[in-house]
Amino acid sequence: MPASMPPAGQPAELWQESLSDLITDPRELADFLQLDQRLDPAGEQALAQFPLKVPRAFAERMEKGNWRDPLLRQVWPSFTEEREAPGFTADPLRERHYNPRPGLLHKYRGRVLLIAAPHCAIHCRYCFRREFDYRENSPARAEWREAFDYIRGDASIEEVILSGGDPLALGDGQLRWLLESIAGIPHVTTVRIHTRLPVVIPERVSGELLAMLRGCRQRVAVVIHCNHAQEIDAPVAAALKSLHRAGVSLLNQSVLLQGVNDDAAALSALSKRLFSENVLPYYLHLPDRVAGTRHFAVTLEAAEAIMRELQACLPGYLVPRLVREDPGKPAKTRLI
């Protein structure tokens, strides 16, 4: 192979092995990181409601002996989740109101979102869909046709977003079928894939996946949902390079999380690291007020102060837009 050719991507079976070998026991994670669980016990109720799931490759990027590690904080099912917090609810975005067909959400003009997969490779404790009804939104192929008929019947829909769960947690056969079904709808010009897989299990960027994305009729954008520069190690960088060379537009959106990335230095380092891997930062979300996530909340005032610092130290194209999702609004609310 000439030196300029992109890497072929990893063999398919590697990522499936990683996906079936996740850390799901908090004791195992605490032991691996040499942490004393008595200092921040895992909450039994929190675990029952939203179990622990951490890929080993992601755990290896955490600092041993550090309860404040920014990657650990994103996944640790702390007992503090179980404290009541007024204003924090199961469905703060009222997504069930925008769910006209199983598996399909239509919130904004011109684009629809498909709940392509009911599961993820990692459980992020701040997730706004941690109580989403995936059983009601896991269509079989026959039911997916209803969603495709809905898209076909509305010529204003130009973009289909694959979300979840994590769409890249699907096997290649089902993913190919979804992409081919979307490719058959003439007015859809863009497919956007929201996924944590290239970051948490970079082997997911296999040769098969790259070939599939390269062969798409529509433009393809992949949004990688990375919150901290420490998440990007050499295998993640290689996966992103392969996606870029396959012609995929790479974007990032982060959530502003207390104790993870709520300072300008961390966000500036993240933007620079992303850009060095051909990824543009575009959104920084104020966290949604989801039950169990009070400990991640950042006030609007604090978020605006961080943004002013970021604007002072980064070129404009590396400053993500600070946004909040307000249910019922025609677009995300841009805050600064």
Q: How far is the CB of 292 from ligand SF4 (least distance, A)?
A: 12
Nearer to ligand SF4 among residue 42 and residue 124 (C-beta): 124
Give the start-end residues of each E strand in the chain: 104-108, 111-115, 159-163, 190-194, 219-223, 249-255, 280-285, 321-324, 333-334
Query: Does position 286 bind ligand SF4 by CB under 6 A?
Result: no
Q: From 158-166, 211-219, 233-241, 323-331, give the range in contact with ligand SF4 by CB under 6 A.
A: 158-166
Tell me the C-alpha distance between 196 and 81, whole Å.
23
Nearer to ligand SF4 among residue 192 and residue 196 (C-beta): 196
Q: What tokens were used for 130? A: 């941690």
Over its C-alpha atoms, the chain yields an Rg (Å, rounded) of 19
Tell me the C-alpha distance between 228 and 200, whole Å.
12
Helix (H, G, I), strand (E, B) or coil at 249: strand
Tell me the C-alpha distance between 190 and 217, whole Å.
9
Residues contacting ligand SF4: total by CB under 6 A:
10
Nearer to ligand SF4 among residue 9 and residue 165 (C-beta): 165
Window 106-145: contact mask with ligand SF4 (x via CB under 6 A): --------------x-xxx--x-x----------------
Nearer to ligand SF4 among residue 101 and residue 285 (C-beta): 285
Nearer to ligand SF4 among residue 123 and residue 192 (C-beta): 123
How open is the CA angle 5-280-263, to the nearest 5 degrees?
130
Nearer to ligand SF4 among residue 113 and residue 238 (C-beta): 113
Nearer to ligand SF4 among residue 15 and residue 185 (C-beta): 15
Exposure on the CB side of residue 51, measured as CA atoms within 13 A: 8
Non-local (6+) Cβ contacts of 324 within 8 A are 285, 286, 332, 333, 335
When binding is defined by CB under 6 A, the residue of 196, 204, 273, 285 that contacts ligand SF4 is 196
Q: How far is the CB of 225 from ligand SF4 (least distance, A)?
A: 6
Tell me the C-alpha distance between 321 and 160, whole Å.
22
Nearer to ligand SF4 among residue 239 and residue 314 (C-beta): 239
In angstroms, the Cα distances linking 57 to 60, 67, 219 are: 5, 18, 30
Query: Does position 288 bind ligand SF4 by CB under 6 A?
Result: no
When binding is defined by CB under 6 A, the residue of 77, 139, 164, 292 that contacts ligand SF4 is 164
Tell me the C-alpha distance between 118 and 120, whole Å.
7
Tell me the C-alpha distance between 322 and 5, whole Å.
37
Window 69-108: contact mask with ligand SF4 (x via CB under 6 A): ----------------------------------------
Q: How far is the CB of 180 from ligand SF4 (least distance, A)?
A: 24
Q: How far is the CB of 194 from ligand SF4 (least distance, A)?
A: 7
Which H or E run includes 333?
strand 333-334
Name residues contacting ligand SF4, limited to 250-269 (CB under 6 A): none
Q: What residues make contact with ligand SF4 under the rule CB under 6 A?
A: 120, 122-124, 127, 129, 164-166, 196
